[in-house]
Chains A and B, each alone.
Chain A
Amino acid sequence: EPEVTQTPSHQVTQMGQEVILRCVPISNHLYFYWYRQILGQKVEFLVSFYNNEISEKSEIFDDQFSVERPDGSNFTLKIRSTKLEDSAMYFCASSERDTKTQYFGPGTRLLVL
């Protein structure tokens, strides 16, 4: 059964460093998403991506964040200068269409020290 994969599973970084989180969505899906879950809090939407551009983003997704689909399979989230409050579990998801079910990856746990 096809699934969304994410790498790395865990990442520890120093405050101010850049991090790139990687995702491989399900191959025939067209919509891609990033969510995050700060420990003990809700899963929060960050951004959606379709047709090589951002289609929707939340207030959380400020200039420190960017997304890219560098090739036909990968979908990345970059945080340019990490802050302590960026520590969270980051989930990638994909769907066939915007109203179709979103399938989530296992997440990347990011710890900023």
Chain B
Amino acid sequence: AQSVTQLGSHVSVSEGALVLLRCNYSSSVPPYLFWYVQYPNQGLQLLLKYTSAATLVKGINGFEAEFKKSETSFHLTKPSAHMSDAAEYFCAVSVQGAQKLVFGQGTRLTINP
């Protein structure tokens, strides 16, 4: 069975600082990995996805994530935080042949002016 752990339920960074949101996964077969963002009172929007192509994946709004098989990680980064990045971020995993996404518990990102 697949699972996802997001380290840190809350992360706070200053505007302009590096954003690092951590995600570790567990899967017995090669995974597909996703990051979704949820802005207040909105649904889940896809930020980026890894589906066994390039290990460094670029997404929308300047975010990127690197798949590291040896560390079973898929951390999300952005070089310079913007106030508009304040939201909840969810890491999710699925595998070929399974239809469901398994989500982490989410990380709430706060940006300080």
Contacts and interface: CB of A to CB of B under 8 A. Distances in A.
Interface of A: 4, 6, 31, 33, 35, 41-45, 48, 50, 55-56, 58, 91, 93, 98-99, 101-107
A71 B42 CA distance: 27
A44 B98 CA distance: 15
Contact of A99 (B32, B42, B45): B32
B106 A104 contact: no
Which among A43, A106, A107 has the greatest number of chain B C-beta atoms within 10 A? A43
Interface in B19-50: 32, 34, 36, 42-46, 49
Contacts of B43: 4, 6, 91, 104-107
A72 to B, nearest CB: 21
Contact of A101 (B34, B97, B100, B104): B34
B110 interface: no
Given A91-B44, A106-B43, A48 B99 contact: yes
Contact of B105 (A41, A45, A91, A104): A41
A92 to B, nearest CB: 9
Contacts of B32: 99
B84 interface: no
What are the nearest 10 A-B pairs in CB distance? A45-B100, A106-B43, A104-B44, A48-B99, A43-B103, A98-B99, A104-B43, A56-B99, A42-B105, A107-B43
